[in-house]
């Protein structure tokens, strides 16, 4: 994730059409810089938001736009990211506890999830409100051999995010959560899904 900005900038500066996975960089400033540079160089760019090409998402968009469900008043999405277990972050995702890296539950999974909602139900129209929380300020690390560290490491990235926005005339809720201490509907949590729930589910409230 922390290589996105550097690789994309090198390609754009060389005048190459560029495809880069989301997020573009570690912060909004880096993303704006890439956009400005691409315009200056006159190159074509694509951001990797693969939810827009997922067959199930395309089908959902088709059904919504067909009017078969009537007027949609709200939609909420619940998802389990499966990146943190037993209070520990795996070696593969340990960069997600450092805000400076730019990649975490909110910016990666939240970003992809929100874009999918906007794609299916309409773009963000009248602003939004959010509540951010870091309920696990310190975490253990899980090594590649499955051992959990005795020491804990500081985490300054959010593991509890709740958002509400109005999209094209109907209310859309989206939430990011990681533990059962706070009730949030809908939610994206970094822990594993239970045996009785799907990895991702979407509930639409039509007429």
* pLDDT for res 186: 39
Strand order in the sheet with 138-142: 84-85, 88-90, 138-142, 153-154
* pLDDT for res 187: 52
Instruction: From first to last of the 207 residues of the chain, give the pLDDT tens digit.
Output: 678 999 999 999 999 999 999 998 888 999 999 999 999 999 999 999 988 999 999 998 888 888 887 777 777 777 777 777 777 888 888 899 999 988 888 888 888 888 888 888 877 776 677 878 888 899 999 888 889 999 999 999 988 777 777 776 444 455 433 322 222 233 555 655 555 655 566 666 666
Helix (H, G, I), strand (E, B) or coil at 25: coil
The answer to whether the peptide bond before residue 23 is cis (omega within 30 degrees of 0) is yes
Alpha helices in the chain (DSSP H): 4-13, 28-41, 55-66, 111-121
Q: How many residues are present in the chain?
A: 207
- Give the phi and the psi of residue 152 in degrees, each rounded to 5: -110, 160
| Cα 203 from Cα 35, distance rounded (Å) | 34
**By C-alpha distance, which of 185, 166, 188, 186 is closest to 177?**
188
Distances (CA, A) of 200 to 12, 99, 194, 204: 35, 25, 11, 13
Delineate the domains of the chain, giving CATH numbers in brackets.
4-48 (3.40.50.720), 70-206 (3.30.360.10)
* pLDDT for res 64: 82
Pairing label, strands 84-85, 72-80: unpaired
The answer to whether the peptide bond before residue 186 is cis (omega within 30 degrees of 0) is yes
187 token code pair: 């939610």
């Amino acid at each position: 994730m922390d290589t996105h900005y550097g690789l994309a900038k090198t390609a754009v500066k060389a005048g190459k059409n560029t495809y880069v996975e989301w997020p573009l960089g570690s912060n909004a400033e880096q993303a704006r810089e890439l956009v400005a540079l691409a315009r200056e160089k006159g190159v074509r760019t694509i951001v990797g938001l693969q939810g827009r090409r997922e067959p199930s998402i395309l089908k959902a968009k088709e059904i919504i736009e067909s009017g078969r469900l009537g007027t949609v008043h709200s939609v909420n999405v619940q998802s389990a990211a499966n990146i943190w277990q037993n209070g520990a972050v795996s070696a593969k995702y340990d960069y997600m506890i450092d805000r400076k890296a730019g990649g975490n539950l909110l910016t990666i999974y939240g970003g992809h999830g929100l874009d999918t909602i906007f794609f299916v139900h309409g773009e963000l129209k009248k602003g939004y409100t959010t509540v951010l929380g870091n309920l696990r300020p310190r975490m253990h690390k899980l090594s590649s051999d499955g051992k959990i560290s005795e020491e804990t490491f500081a985490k300054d990235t959010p593991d509890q995010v709740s958002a509400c926005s109005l999209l094209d005339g109907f209310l859309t809720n989206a939430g990011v959560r990681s533990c059962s201490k706070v009730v949030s509907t809908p939610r994206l949590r970094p822990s594993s899904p239970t045996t009785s729930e799907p990895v991702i589910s979407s509930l639409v409230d039509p007429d």
